[in-house]
Amino acid sequence: MKLGVVLAAALVAQPAWAQRAGENAATQSSDAFGRSVGQDKSGLYSSDDVRGFNPVDAGNVRLEGLYFDQVDKLSTRLSDGNTIRVGPAALRYPFPAPTGLVDYSLTQPRGLASYSFNLEDGGASNGGIGGSFEFKQPLDGERLGLSGGFGWRNAHRWEGGYAKYRTVGATLGWHPTDRVSVLLFGGAFFFRSDEARATYYPAAPELPPQLPRGIDLSQPWAPRNATNWAYGAVVKAPLGGFGLEAGLFYNGRTQDTTFADLLFGVRSDGSVARRRVIADGNNRDASLSGEARLIKQWQHGDISHRLIASLRGRARDRRFGGSQSLDLGPSTILAPDIRPEPSYTLGPKSFDTVRQLTWGASYSLVRAGHFGFDASISKTSYRKAIDFADPALNDPETREGPVMWNAGGTVNLTRPLSFYAGISHGMEEALAAPEVAVNRAEAPPAIHTSQVEAGIKYALSHQLTLIAGGFSITKPYYNLDPASRYRRLGDLRNRGVELSLTGQLWPGLTVVGGTMLLDPRISGEAVESGQIGPRPVGQIRRRSVLTLDWREGQGHGPLSLDLSLESLSSRTGNAANTLSAPARAVLNLGARYRFKLAGGTWLVRPVLLNAFDKYGWNVSSSGGFTYIPPRAATLQVIADY
């Protein structure tokens, strides 16, 4: 078991605007669809998995509510968390996406000064030593403020190996009036000496053996050295009789060196038929994106109206290709198998360019306590061009101008019960080809998607809400064909049912519980010819989550206890559907103790993750197996002044 210790101390005797000791995703969740607050998370979905799809890779991301083409992770010094918007959470949200949205919030540098220092030893997913420094500093009372910080970790990863991580970021907030907000931000995330972890591709239908976790199987000459960065501006202000909301964002990553360590034909005895390392580097992926909105709101009797005109766009440029496949021959996963670094030279680079501009209008009306209606329509101009380094390949160019639209609404059937429904058609990015593909990193043109959903929302009490709904999502299915080329193999329909129960069962006891039942199914020529099975690789059929948070003194005492349970069904393990990763359930236990000391509010938080040290497998969409983290303990001490 690993033990992590986090020490945080605020060094200025003034109250902070946003205090770390009060962060609790369970008590701050309004549904069970997904909420992240600082380091705390709850709910069914996350930023990389919503209803069986990855909304970030699909381009369905918002930053402060505005369109943001996210390339890679934001610095943790910039964002306070995110909210997953599906079902009722997407109502009155302009221009929702068919497969759900991830809505990030920036750290707001308002209020009085606060400073915190963090020292870390060990941790839940990464051992080693690390720390951080965070601050919020007013520069002109409530009108101008600066927040930011930096973090570092020399990590000992739970799957073995070492890595160095660094984060830095800052946000400048200016509020010349109560109705005007200007945010300027910038930050970076640095990855250094991060060795490629081994990914297992089983010899069907055999599962890999349950190895002792923590054995470093990586090659010491195969590290990732990469940098993610993000900066931009957000303005929200009145403009005549309208409201203006605008954001311009630049997000990207550079990969000086990157490797993939792929082990094929892994058998239950730990033997590996063939080990291959993909060497790559000098890659770059960056996007300038943003949105400008004019908003008009008015009241007509007891009905409120909102009309939005939007212009959003992006310019994305990617440098990729030239990777080299290094064949290491047979190997094993039972012990480290270190090989001398082969001699290789990276090939010339290919270039991928996307230009997209979208005009749209959104209308919403609400009669409080009775009904609501939302609709939007957008026209996009999309161009994607690939310039391959290989002169023998044709350089494809795609131009499209589809119309995207959605309509949805809610009706209050009784005072506690409402019905909601929606339909949407959109366009989004297809995933790039994975490391195992012969056309690695190649990205297909944008794809067309559609979704229908409906359900009920029922207030069991003033403090407890039940949501039950169903959905059906359709989009093209891209994956590996028998020749390991990543291409369209058919169409994928994800039909599902989701349940959410959130709120207080009684004073002091908060629940966030949910279940998703999913029926993912592929159709098309590849299934009919028997090249692949009807179930997509890596998909589960059920996910259930439960978080209980009990605080003594009917929610006002110093001590609280919490547990978080995630239960997953089996997961499809290969394209032929002849292998499955077993079902699993993981339990996390934690506590919080709050007290006053030296004029500050302190929090002590121990957490035991994967309490029963459950062994389980994650499966990528290309069929790669990696095991889940082992049992780990952390201790956090935070002081807010």
| Tens digits of residue pLDDT in 193-234 | 888 889 999 998 889 998 888 888 999 999 989 999 999 999
Q: Per-residue pLDDT averaged across 25-54, rounded? A: 89
Give me the count of residues in the chain: 641
Give the pLDDT band (50/70/90) at residue 18. very low
Query: CB burial class (10 A; 0-12, 13-18, 19+) of residue 620?
Result: middle
Q: Per-residue pLDDT averaged across 272-287, rounded? A: 96
Query: What is the model's pLDDT at position 122?
Result: 52
Q: Is the pLDDT of residue 12 over 50?
A: no
Q: Is the pLDDT of residue 287 over 60?
A: yes
| Lookup: tokens for 111 | 């209020």
Cα–Cα distance measured from residue 85 to residue 55, given in angstroms and rounded to the nearest whole number: 11
Q: Per-residue pLDDT averaged across 322-347, rounded? A: 94
**In the Cβ-directed half-sphere of 426, how many Cα atoms lie within 13 Å?**
24
Q: Is the pLDDT of residue 466 over 90?
A: yes
Model confidence over 77-113: pLDDT tens digits?
888 889 999 999 888 889 988 888 999 999 888 777 7
Model confidence over 146-202: pLDDT tens digits?
999 888 888 777 777 778 889 999 999 999 998 999 999 999 999 988 888 899 999
At residue 525, φ and ψ (nearest 5 deg) are -60, -40
Q: Which pTM does this prediction carry?
A: 0.90
Q: Where are the beta strands (DSSP E) in 350-483?
A: 350-367, 371-387, 397-400, 403-412, 417-428, 447-461, 464-480
According to DSSP, residue 555 is labeled H
Q: Per-residue pLDDT averaged across 47-52, rounded? A: 90
CATH superfamily of 2-640: TonB-dependent receptor, beta-barrel domain (2.40.170.20)
Give the pLDDT band (50/70/90) at residue 6. very low
Cβ neighbours of residue 77 closer than 8 Å, sequence gap 6 or more: 107, 132, 134, 148, 149, 150, 151, 167, 168, 169, 170, 187
Query: What is the model's pLDDT at position 126?
Result: 45
As a whole-number percent, the residues of the chain with pLDDT over 90 amount to: 64
Model confidence over 611-630: pLDDT tens digits?
999 999 999 988 999 999 88
Cα–Cα distance measured from residue 630 to residue 567, given in angstroms and rounded to the nearest whole number: 16
Query: What is the model's pLDDT at position 356?
Result: 96
Give the pLDDT band (50/70/90) at residue 436. confident
3-class SS of residue 58: helix
Model confidence over 548-603: pLDDT tens digits?
999 999 989 999 999 999 999 999 999 999 999 999 999 999 999 998 887 777 88
CA 590 → CA 119, 158, 547, 559, 610, distances in Å? 20, 20, 11, 11, 11
For residue 452, list its beta bridge partners: 423, 472
Q: Where are the domains of the chain?
A: 2-640
Q: Is the pLDDT of residue 10 over 80?
A: no
HEC per residue, 215-252: CCCCCCCCEEEEEEEEEEEEEEEEECCEEEEEEEEEEE
Query: What is the model's pLDDT at position 127?
Result: 56
User: Chain-centre distance of CA 275, in angstroms?
Assistant: 30
